[in-house]
Amino acid sequence: RKEVEQDPGPFNVPEGATVAFNCTYSNSASQSFFWYRQDCRKEPKLLMSVYSSGNEDGRFTAQLNRASQYISLLIRDSKLSDSATYLCVVTAGGYQKVTFGTGTKLQVIP
């Protein structure tokens, strides 16, 4: 089983749609969880941290299920500017070991 697994997509959705991405991780000792976005040939940029209680930032909602070792990201009212690759990131060992998923590509269509 891969350490951090994501559906690579692409997810092609119309503007205004709601889209959800999932991520599973294999290391039960993982401590912190994040969603990053990466535009083509650019560096990853933090989108949001993920907490067990769930957290929301505008149109974005992230959720963590530690029992199932599963992380999700929900994007509501998709914009063209949301088109990017969304990376699930998991850390362990006091943030010293960081594992990226392969990323899920989102294309929002006009």
Partner 1 sequence: EPEVTQTPSHQVTQMGQEVILRCVPISNHLYFYWYRQILGQKVEFLVSFYNNEISEKSEIFDDQFSVERPDGSNFTLKIRSTKLEDSAMYFCASKGPGRHTQYFGPGTRLTVL
Positions touching partner 1 (CB under 8 A) are: 32, 34, 38, 41-46, 49, 87, 91, 93, 95-103
In the bound state with partner 1, the residue whose beta carbon lies nearer, of 46 and 80, is 46
Q: ω into residue 10 within 30 of 0, thus cis?
A: yes
Work out how close the CB of 59 gets to partner 1 at its nearest, in angstroms, rounded to a whole number: 20
- Tell me the longest C-alpha to C-alpha distance in the chain: 43
Q: What is the Cα–Cα distance from 93 to 41, expressed in whole angstroms?
A: 29
Q: Which residues, 6+ apart, have CB-to-CB distance to 39 below 8 Å? A: 84, 85
Q: How far is the CB of 80 from partner 1 (least distance, A)?
A: 23
> Nearer to partner 1 by C-beta: 25 or 34?
34
d(CA 9, CA 107): 9
Closest CB 38 distance from partner 1, rounded Å: 8
Report how far residue 65's alpha carbon sits from residue 50's, in angstroms, rounded to the nearest whole number: 10
- Residue number with CB closer to partner 1 (60 or 100): 100
CB of 49 to partner 1, least distance (A): 6
Cβ proximity to partner 1: between 17 and 102 the closer is 102
